[in-house]
Chain A
Amino acid sequence: MMWSKIQKIGVVVGLGALTLASGCGKSREGITMAGSTAFQPFAEKLAEQYMMTHSEVSITVQGGGSALGVQTTLSGTAQIGMADLVKLPKEADALKSLIVARDGIAIVVNPANTITALTQDQIRDIFNGNIHNWKEVGGADHPIAVISREAGSGTRSSFEQIVGNVKLTDNALIQNANGTVRETVAKDANAIGYVSHGLISERIKALTVDGASCTEDAIMSGAYKLVRPIFLLTKAEASPACNAFLAYVLSPEGQELIHKNGLIKAK
Chain B
Amino acid sequence: MRLNGEKIAKYSLMLVAFSALASLLLIAVFILKEGVPFMFKVGLKDFLLSSDWNPQAGKFGIYPMIVASLYVTFGAMLIGAPLGVAGAIFLNEFLPKPAMRVIKPTIELLAGIPSVVFGFLGVMVLAPLIRSTMGGPGLSVLAAAVILGIMVLPTVISISTDAIAAVPNSYREGALALGATRWQSVYMVIIKAARSGIIASIILAMGRALGETMAVIMVAGNTVKIPQSLTDPVRTLTANIALEMANATGMAREALFATGVVLFVVIMILNAIALSAIKSRGRKK
Contact = CB atoms under 8 A, between A and B. Distances in A.
A68 B250 CA distance: 11
> How many B residues are at the interface, by size bracket?
20 to 34
Contact of B244 (A37, A68, A151, A172): A151
Nearest to B135: A143
A interface, over-half SS: mixed
Nearest to B52: A170
B140 to A, nearest CB: 10
A87 interface: no
Which of A2, A153, A174 gathers the greatest number of chain B CB atoms within 10 Å? A174
B138 interface: yes
A150 B138 contact: no
Q: Which of B242, B246, B249 has the most CB of A within 10 A?
A: B246
A150 B224 CA distance: 11
A8 interface: yes
A10 to B, nearest CB: 11
A215 interface: no
Interface stretch (B7-15, B81-89, B100-108, B214-222): B214-222
Contacts of A172: 223
B137 interface: yes
A183 interface: yes
B127 A2 contact: no
A21 B196 CA distance: 52
Contacts of A22: none
Given A173-B221, A176-B217, A65 B246 contact: yes
Contact of B223 (A64, A67, A151, A170): A170
B243 A176 contact: yes
Given A2-B116, A67-B249, A173 B123 contact: no
A180 B222 CA distance: 13
A152 B214 contact: no
Contacts, number: 82
B138 A188 contact: yes
B116 A171 contact: no
B131 interface: yes
Contacts of B221: 173-174
Contacts of A64: 246
A19 interface: no
Given A2-B119, A170-B224, A187-B127, A145 B247 contact: no
B131 A188 contact: yes
B207 interface: no
Given A173-B139, A173-B222, A176-B243, 8 more contacts: A5-B242, A67-B247, A67-B248, A150-B247, A171-B223, A173-B221, A187-B128, A188-B131
For the complex of A and B, 4 pairs with smallest distance between CB atoms: A152-B247, A174-B222, A8-B246, A150-B243
30 contacts: A2-B116, A2-B119, A3-B116, A5-B243, A8-B246, A37-B246, A65-B246, A65-B247, A66-B247, A68-B246, A71-B249, A150-B222, A150-B244, A150-B247, A151-B56, A151-B244, A151-B247, A151-B252, A152-B244, A152-B246, A152-B252, A172-B223, A174-B222, A174-B224, A176-B242, A176-B243, A184-B139, A187-B123, A188-B131, A191-B137
